[in-house]
Amino acid sequence: MAADGAKRHDRTNFFKYVTLDGLGHITSHLSRQWSSPITFNDPFDSQFDCGFSFSFEAFSEAFLNAIEEMVFGEKEPKGVAQHPLFHQIMIARGNRTKRTRNAFCECFQPVISGTIPNLKRSQAIASQVWATYLNNLRILCLTEDPANLLMWSHYANQHTGAMIRLRCIRDRDSVLLAALPVHYTDCAPYIGTQDEWICHLTGQKEIDYDSHFRKLITSKSTRWAYEKEWRVINFKRPGDNGLLMHDTFWPEEIEAIYFGCRANDSKVSDILKAMHPELKHVELFRAKKRQWEFEIDYEKMG
């Protein structure tokens, strides 16, 4: 899940709303900031324990039915031969013509009785792994919306900041190519479905924690859907302290800068004077309120 530059979308541009102080650091040092999810303004964002979408009682019955199907079904089960339960199931399958289904249920009753304790232990382990994973995450947040009034207010300091237009460079190892869209939902994400956990506990297939953790990181309440957010996922480097991480980027990734309609002229001038020499190609715009409409227009500067 690291920001490895792998192409995962067909977008050509993303946008990032920033304060003028943040912009000054980016454009003078060619350095961008990655944040720990712990710092996000939404306390629900990525801040989940690893829960299940099913009840333990329902799981026990489904678990028994699944094992019975593995023993008596026509399809040969596939799994890890060394897995204790899978090994036991395959032995029972080899002897299935010698046992009735009632005898099978009696044989596997201790396994079924231990289902919920095993599942709870698995949940505890998953939550512990997730907590460690979350602590090491560093996220670059982007958007596909270049004229969002709420984004200007929330992330560009009430329109006194700026917005950066970023280009996804295909012939460079740009982390922007690895951006993932945020999924907006009314339901909190879970770690695995009932069938996935049955396969995990019976040794047929391990839980894909990486995939499920990615889902946790890229799921937000529908109330945030207006942000149209994308995220690049990375991890803190050895020796990094604190909840923020900085790294350099290709100058060509910045195509344009749009200053807010309330941006201070003196501060804008200072930022432009201190801008890194390799950013001379960057186009500059100023936001203007559109008369009689709740919209923003951008006028080219200079």
- Per-residue pLDDT tens over the stretch 62-77: 988 899 899 988 899 9
- Structural domain includes residue 259: yes
**What pLDDT, on a 0 to 100 scale, did the predictor assign at position 190?**
83
CA distances from 231 to 9, 15, 140, 143, 238 (A): 12, 11, 6, 8, 22
Domain enclosing residue 215, as ranges: 13-36+138-191+209-300
**Under a CB-based contact definition with an 8 Å cutoff, are residues 245 and 237 in contact?**
yes
Q: How confident is the model at residue 250 (pLDDT cuts 50, 70, 90)?
A: very high
In the structure encoding, which two tokens stand for residue 194, read together?
A: 């009932």
4 located within any domain: no
Inside any domain, residue 28: yes
Per-residue confidence (pLDDT) for residue 6, from 0 to 100: 59
Nearest-angstrom CA–CA distance, 107 and 23: 67
Q: What is this structure's pTM?
A: 0.85
The average confidence (pLDDT) of the chain is 90
Written as six digits, the tokens of 149 are 């009034």
Checking if the pLDDT of 297 tops 90, the result is yes
180 located within any domain: yes
| Mean pLDDT within 78-92 | 91
* Residue 279 located in a structural domain: yes
Q: How many domains does the chain have?
A: 1
pLDDT 10s digits, 258-289: 999 999 999 999 999 999 999 999 999 999 99
Q: What is the pLDDT of residue 54?
A: 84
In a domain, 55, yes or no: no
What lies within 8 Å, CB to CB, of 201 at 6+ separation is 63, 85, 115, 118, 119, 122
